[in-house]
Amino acid sequence: MAKKIGIEVSLAISEAVKLADVDAIAAYPITPQTHIVEHLSELVADGDLNAEFIPVESEHSAMSVCAGTSAAGARTYTATSSQGLALMNEILFIIPALRLPVVMTLANRSLSGPISIWNDHSDLMSVRDTGWISIFAENGQEAFDLTLQSFKIAEDHRVMLPINVNIDGFTLSHVIEPHEFLSQEEVDSFLPPYDPPLQLNPDKPVSMGMVGIPEIYFEAKKAQDVALIESKAVIKEVFQEFGEKFGRTYNVIESYRAEDAETLLLTMGSIGETAMEAIDIMKDEQGKKVGLLRLRLWRPFPVDELRELVKGIKTLAVIDRAVSFGGTGAPVGGEIRSALYSTEDRPYVASFIAGLGGRDVTIKDFMDMVNLAEKMETEQEVHEYKMIGVRE
């Protein structure tokens, strides 16, 4: 086993991007993502990474450049957060429609206003329907591993879609913790060079980004949706290959001590690790029948896996880090209710929103949410969503 190195998670991601030997990086700095691209620009300037680093004047331009370099056949990477992602919005829809395998780290941060640089998932949720594959890392090691795996998934000819790898801003991006790096040889044995099925090349001209008249637009969108849904099989395949090669196995939904559970918590992102501590206390010290599901793959949504994992469960408490204002549930909670509606013996789904704008979600908060969800289940309380830890 390689020696563990103490390094900031942002820099570990930069190292993964370097090991993936990307050809083009276009990015604009924004907190809390900045350290990633700052370090990459140093690697390029120092000659440690042979890539084009294209500094741009805005995130809209960053993503536009990514469209261009990826279409030209370059392995392309960028990173952003919050307002930066919002500014990219127009181009975010175009990348998957053009089937361009751009990989982007999203250091999740709340959206203004009020102005906030802190962590929640409102930025990702604002681009939910752009057609990107969305994966969550819960710690630095996962961020490193998933960044590498993302290039392989995105560039697979059965997929050819962009991926955003989500890491919680500050609570992951700015933390120094142990990482086990892979060597260049190990990465090369796993990740082949990008072989674009089509590329912009003056010697062999193709057109990309054409008009979709009413006679073809609908079919194009259906094809895109099918591609995204079918990418799940490739994602699982790559997760498995990575696990066999390097001993760290990933699943589209991770399950923690859920065997005999009657109540399950469901989280996305780095709070899942804190939730594990809460589960241990509730199981080992209080004898409660609880467990945890951590949703790693947000898009395409792993519907079948979710249905299987919640079979026989009485209460499912879903914790969101974003609001769908005036909606019928928080983004993840509402989606899960919808996914389970047609199943028999579905669990009671409590939809909670916690930790907006950098508010800590503590071990006690998780225990409180389990107890509250169980009470709501007993009373079969009808609700849309509840905000936890907000002062009223």
DSSP per-residue letters across 167-222: EETTTTTT-EEEE-PPPHHHHHHHSPPP--SS---TTS----S----TTTHHHHHH
Where do we find the tokens 């196995």?
249
Query: 3-class secondary structure for 263-290?
Result: EEEEECCCHHHHHHHHHHHHHHCCCCCE
214-253: contacts with other proteins (CB under 8 A): none
Question: Nearest-5° angle of CA 359, CA 278, CA 288?
Answer: 135
Among 29, 73, 358, 389, the residue binding other proteins under the rule CB under 8 A is 358
- Only one of the segments 195-203, 295-303, 319-327, 356-364 lies at the binding site for other proteins (rule: CB under 8 A); that segment is 356-364
Contact 254, 297 (CB under 8 A): no
Interface with other proteins includes 175 (CB under 8 A)?
A: yes
Interface with other proteins includes 2 (CB under 8 A)?
A: no
Interface with other proteins includes 118 (CB under 8 A)?
A: yes
Q: Which of 364, 326, 363, 368 is nearest to 350 (CA)?
A: 368
- Only one of the segments 77-85, 173-181, 203-211, 322-330 lies at the binding site for other proteins (rule: CB under 8 A); that segment is 173-181
Interface with other proteins includes 273 (CB under 8 A)?
A: yes
Interface with other proteins includes 267 (CB under 8 A)?
A: no
- Closer Cβ to other proteins, 3 or 204, answer by number: 3
- Only one of the segments 224-232, 269-277, 290-298, 299-307 lies at the binding site for other proteins (rule: CB under 8 A); that segment is 269-277
Contact letters (x/-) for other proteins, 72-111, by CB under 8 A?
----------------------------------------
Interface with other proteins includes 368 (CB under 8 A)?
A: no
Q: Work out whether the CA dihedral 198, 25, 27, 137 comes out positive or negative.
A: positive
Cα(72)–Cα(69) distance, rounded to whole angstroms?
5
Least distance (Å) from other proteins to the CB of residue 113? 16
Contact 268, 321 (CB under 8 A): yes
- Only one of the segments 33-41, 181-189, 258-266, 355-363 lies at the binding site for other proteins (rule: CB under 8 A); that segment is 355-363
Interface with other proteins includes 170 (CB under 8 A)?
A: yes
**What is the size of the binding site for other proteins (CB under 8 A)?**
26
Name 231's Cβ contacts closer than 8 Å, sequence gap at least 6. 133, 153, 158, 159, 161, 300
Contact letters (x/-) for other proteins, 179-198, by CB under 8 A?
--------------------
Interface with other proteins includes 174 (CB under 8 A)?
A: yes
Q: Please compute, for residue 97, the number of CA atoms within 13 A of its CA located in the half-sphere on the CB side.
A: 17
- Tell me the backbone φ, ψ of residue 82, rounded to 5 degrees: 45, -115
Interface with other proteins includes 255 (CB under 8 A)?
A: no
**DSSP state at residue 28:** -
Interface with other proteins includes 284 (CB under 8 A)?
A: no
Least distance (Å) from other proteins to the CB of residue 50? 25
Enter the tokens of residue 223. 């094809």
**Residue 121 carries which side chain, given as an amino acid letter?**
H
- Closer Cβ to other proteins, 228 or 353, answer by number: 353
Least distance (Å) from other proteins to the CB of residue 240? 23
Binding site for other proteins (CB under 8 A): 4-8, 117-118, 170-172, 174-178, 270-271, 273-274, 276-277, 358, 360-363
